[in-house]
Amino acid sequence: MKKKKVWKTKSSLADKIFVVCNTVFLAAFVVVTLYPVLNTVALSFNDGIDAVRGGIHLIPRKFTLQNYKTVFNQQNIITGAYISVARTVLGTILALATNSLLAYVVSRKRFIFRSQLSLFWVVTMYVNGGMIPTLILYRNLGLTNSFWVYIIPGMIGAFNMLVMRTYMEGLPDGLEESAQIDGAGDFRIFVSIISPLCKPVYATVALFVAVGQWNSWFDAMLYNRMASQYTTLQYELMKLLSSVMQQSGSANPGSTTAVAAVTPVTVRAAATVATMLPIICLYPFLQRYFVTGMTIGSVKE
Amino acid sequence: MKAKRISWKEIKRQKFLMVCTLCFVVYGIVFYYLPLGGWIMAFQNYKSRDGFFGSQWVGLDKFKFLFSDATFIRVIRNTLAMGVLNLVTTFVMAIVFAILLNEVRLAMGKKFVQTVSYLPHFLSWIIVTGILHDALSSSGIINELLVKVGLIDNPINFFAHKGYFWPIVAFANVWKETGWNAIVYLAAITSIDPSLYEAATIDGAGRWAKIKNITLPGIRPTIMILLIMNIGNVLNAGFEVQYLLGNGLVKSVSETIDIYTLTWGVSQNDFSLGTAAGIFKSVVAIILIVAANQFAKKTGDSRLF
């Protein structure tokens, strides 16, 4: 408040120019960010043949719900939606349970293998086997062509663990000590003392994991290409979109991709909107959680 | 810190922690460390039917093939070029955005811009590339605007020209991540001592002077840490966008190491070659991160390890 007053009385010409430029820049930023999304929404409600004429910006010209009907009548998209929801829910719950327990173990100052276990996981952030050895491992473990490949391998991640650990280390030691005096074991302390206090950081990690699960498509393509019953919404959307994308570079007719029957731009828009809708509806309300998470995660690494 | 004798009683008391540790270590070995063992494939002519022990050893042949393959050399160039371009553009944009947003005095406006800025981060690359593709298509908004302004007469097919591909990828990254990356800088700016600004105001410093002399030096440690962390990821940044936006016409500039690995390792079933390409990437990534860390140590900045 005080600062504002000072600025108002002292604002020089240069400062005024700065404010104008800044406002213009940020307004442009907002337009560039929002326009493509809103344009997709407008297209999704527009008649398919009409849309070919172009010129649709923010408002549909010929309103219809037909695109959404087409999308939701496709069996593969329905299957994909079910699998996507299932992997998001189950994946998030399991990731939360395991990462929090690991973070608890690593954040116990009295634990004798604390630093070794911590290092063991931090290393995984920098070194990994790469795409092919991982693929072969999953094949040998029977994880390919299976729903569990979405859940088990990525369950524990060093980054999420570190975010939780940092938060737990910030809790007062006295809590744990008094619980120990009362005779509570570690499991009990974890469940009844520490976890209730960690709700904000749990929410943060749950958000990260859930968004990652929902948006993931490469695992469906790499590991479950042959198992259409385990396809995901994003992967189905990708198939829909890529059939068109390949066309823009299709000056070479003998290209490797068999061009599928091109889906009208409006139907693609409807599928896109359906896929991003859950996230768009939820993320504004979860802001404070991911802001804390990002800040903890990058400061303490 | 404190020399503590570990008694049996203590170990017994930590039984639960030990059991958990065992489980986590087994899990970690299986899913994170075991794939490293797969690196031996790069030195074999690996066949699924013969397994790791029955396959023929070929020494460094796969690596020799890699580095004599003109495609692979081009792929390295593409990965590095796009990685560096993305790193620089997303980095600069995030810092600029954070600083400018911080200068907004209207709380509501600030909140609104920030909320909008996070949105693209939560969309998958499938959606982002799909949206971008529509915006850049011949009937898309970009061509429409360019024609209207009179800069071009006929719509440009952006995805058919090699020259546009790298900037498009960089723009896609900036569009998706600027708001998200700015979170950390905004937090760092908040922690700068407000009395510094007050003193500067009394001395008659304008906004530019304050940004240059207080804000930027104030977030310098954060910038350095993030820079180091991201330098190790330069080569990792080269997959999804390029895979989704690439096409036959721009293949020579769009293919990255990961796409090369995918093509050889999965489509052509040459696991050994795919692994060799992956090893190359991992090794370069580690060298980059260590080098960046050393550099930070020299300049006296905060560092990772």
The answer to whether the beta carbons of residues A137 and A215 sit under 8 Å apart is no
- B207 domain residue, yes or no: yes
Is residue B156 less than 8 Å (CB to CB) from chain A?
no
- pTM reported for the whole predicted model: 0.87
User: Cα–Cα distance between B284 and A132 in angstroms, integer?
Assistant: 18
- B27 domain residue, yes or no: no
CATH number, residue B194: 1.10.3720.10
The answer to whether the beta carbons of residues B265 and B273 sit under 8 Å apart is yes
The answer to whether the beta carbons of residues A105 and B17 sit under 8 Å apart is yes
**A161-220 residues touching B, CB cutoff 8 A:** 185-187, 211, 214-218
Residue A40: pLDDT over 50: yes
**A94-113 residues touching B, CB cutoff 8 A:** 98, 101-102, 105, 108, 110-113
All residues of chain B having their beta carbon less than 8 Å from the beta carbon of residue A10 are 201, 204
Which residue from A minimizes the CA distance to B5?
A: A112
pLDDT tens-digit readout, B276-295:
999 999 888 888 888 888 88
Which of A52-61, A95-104, B32-41, B190-199 is the least confident region?
A: A52-61
The answer to whether the beta carbons of residues B213 and B205 sit under 8 Å apart is yes
Average pLDDT over residues A96-102: 96
What residue numbers bound the domain in which B260 lies? 61-299
pLDDT higher at A10 or A19:
A19
> Which of A153, A222, A255 is nearest residue B248 as measured by Cβ atoms?
A255
Which of A38-42, A124-128, B116-120, B255-259 is the least confident region?
A: A124-128
- The length of chain B in residues reads 305
Report the candidate in B117, B207, B90, B143 with the shortest Cα–Cα distance to residue A25: B117
Residue contact B265–A112, C-beta within 8 A: no
Residue contact A268–B130, C-beta within 8 A: yes
**B199-218 residues touching A, CB cutoff 8 A:** 201, 204, 206-208
Classify the phi-psi angles of A42: left when phi > 0, otherwise alpha if psi is within -120 to 50, otherwise beta: alpha
Distance of CA B298 to the CA centre of its chain: 24
Helix axes B70-102, B162-190, angle to 10 degrees: 40
Q: What is the pLDDT of residue B268?
A: 85
Classify the phi-psi angles of A215: left when phi > 0, otherwise alpha if psi is within -120 to 50, otherwise beta: alpha
**B78-107 residues touching A, CB cutoff 8 A:** 97, 100-101, 103-105
- B262 domain residue, yes or no: yes
User: Cα–Cα distance between A45 and A57 in angstroms, integer?
Assistant: 12
User: Cα–Cα distance between B195 and B193 in angstroms, integer?
Assistant: 5
Enumerate domains of chain A plus CATH numbers. 2-64 (no CATH), 70-299 (1.10.3720.10)
Confidence of residue A1 (pLDDT cuts 50, 70, 90): very low
Instruction: State the CB neighbour count (10 A cutoff) for residue B190.
Output: 10
Q: What is the pLDDT of residue B155?
A: 87
Minimal C-alpha gap between B25 and chain A (Å) = 8
- List, in order, residues 6 or more apart from A287 with CB less than 8 Å away: B115, B118
Q: How far, in Å, are B125, B152, B236 from residue A268 at the CA level?
A: 15, 28, 29
Q: What is the pLDDT of residue B4?
A: 55
The answer to whether the beta carbons of residues A42 and A60 sit under 8 Å apart is yes
Residue-wise burial string across B59-83, b where 16 or more C-beta atoms lie within 10 A, e elsewhere: eebbbebbeeeeebeebbebbbebb
> Which of B183, B208, B262 is nearest residue A294 as measured by Cβ atoms?
B183
- B135 domain residue, yes or no: yes
Beta bridge partners of residue A63, listed in sequence order: A46
Q: What is the pLDDT of residue A284?
A: 84
- List, in order, residues 6 or more apart from A130 with CB less than 8 Å away: B35, B38, B39, B261, B274, B275, B278, B279, B281, B282
Which residue from A minimizes the CA distance to B132?
A: A36
Report the candidate in A78, A91, A88, A83 with the shortest Cα–Cα distance to residue A214: A88
- List, in order, residues 6 or more apart from A154 with CB less than 8 Å away: A91, A95, A212
> Which of B105, B116, B194 is nearest residue A33 as measured by Cβ atoms?
B116
Is residue A49 less than 8 Å (CB to CB) from chain B?
no
> Which of B31, B101, B124 is nearest residue A26 as measured by Cβ atoms?
B101
Terminal-residue alpha carbon distance, chain B: 19
User: Cα–Cα distance between B87 and B94 in angstroms, integer?
Assistant: 11
- List, in order, residues 6 or more apart from B247 with CB less than 8 Å away: A245, A246, A248, A249, A250, A255, B159, B160, B254
Confidence of residue A301 (pLDDT cuts 50, 70, 90): very low
Minimal C-alpha gap between B153 and chain A (Å) = 17
**A112-131 residues touching B, CB cutoff 8 A:** 112-113, 117, 120-121, 124, 126-131
Q: What is the pLDDT of residue A262?
A: 59
Minimal C-alpha gap between A34 and chain B (Å) = 7
A31, A61, A105, A132, best to mutate vs chain B, most B CBs in 10 Å: A132
pLDDT higher at A273 or B152:
A273
Q: What is the pLDDT of residue A252?
A: 40
> Which of A6, A238, A294 is nearest residue B126 as measured by Cβ atoms?
A238
Q: What ipTM, to 2 d.p.?
A: 0.86
Residue contact B134–A40, C-beta within 8 A: yes
User: Cα–Cα distance between B279 and A232 in angstroms, integer?
Assistant: 30
**Diameter of chain A measured on Cα atoms:** 76
- B40 domain residue, yes or no: no
The phi and psi torsions of A143 (rounded to 5 degrees) equal -90, -15
Minimal C-alpha gap between B135 and chain A (Å) = 7
- B275 domain residue, yes or no: yes
- Percent over 70 (pLDDT), chain A: 88
Question: For chain B, which ranges sit under pLDDT 50?
Answer: 1-3
DSSP A250-262: TTSTT-SS-PPPP
Q: What is the pLDDT of residue A254?
A: 39
**A65-84 residues touching B, CB cutoff 8 A:** none
Q: Of all residues in chain A, what percent are helix, strand and coil, respectively (each to 5)?
A: 75, 0, 25
Confidence of residue A97 (pLDDT cuts 50, 70, 90): very high
> Which of A186, A251, A276 is nearest residue B17 as measured by Cβ atoms?
A186
pLDDT tens-digit readout, B88-143:
999 999 999 999 999 998 889 999 999 999 899 999 999 999 999 888 988 888 98
Q: What is the pLDDT of residue B2?
A: 46
Residue A3: pLDDT over 90: no
All residues of chain B having their beta carbon less than 8 Å from the beta carbon of residue A245 are 129-130, 133, 159, 244-245, 247
pLDDT tens-digit readout, A235-253:
999 988 876 665 554 444 4
Domain count of the fold of chain B: 1
Residue A102: pLDDT over 90: yes
The DSSP 8-state label assigned to residue A63 in this structure reads B
Question: Strands B56-57 and B44-45, how do they pair?
Answer: antiparallel
Cβ burial, residue B12 (10 Å; 0-12/13-18/19+): exposed
User: Cα–Cα distance between B15 and B33 in angstroms, integer?
Assistant: 25
- B126 domain residue, yes or no: yes
The answer to whether the beta carbons of residues B278 and A131 sit under 8 Å apart is yes
Confidence of residue A12 (pLDDT cuts 50, 70, 90): confident
- B29 domain residue, yes or no: no
> Which of B30, B130, B183 is nearest residue A295 as measured by Cβ atoms?
B183
Three-class DSSP category at B14? coil
Confidence of residue A282 (pLDDT cuts 50, 70, 90): confident
Confidence of residue A4 (pLDDT cuts 50, 70, 90): very low
Three-class DSSP category at B92? helix
B48, B62, B122, best to mutate vs chain A, most A CBs in 10 Å: B122
Average pLDDT over residues A136-151: 93
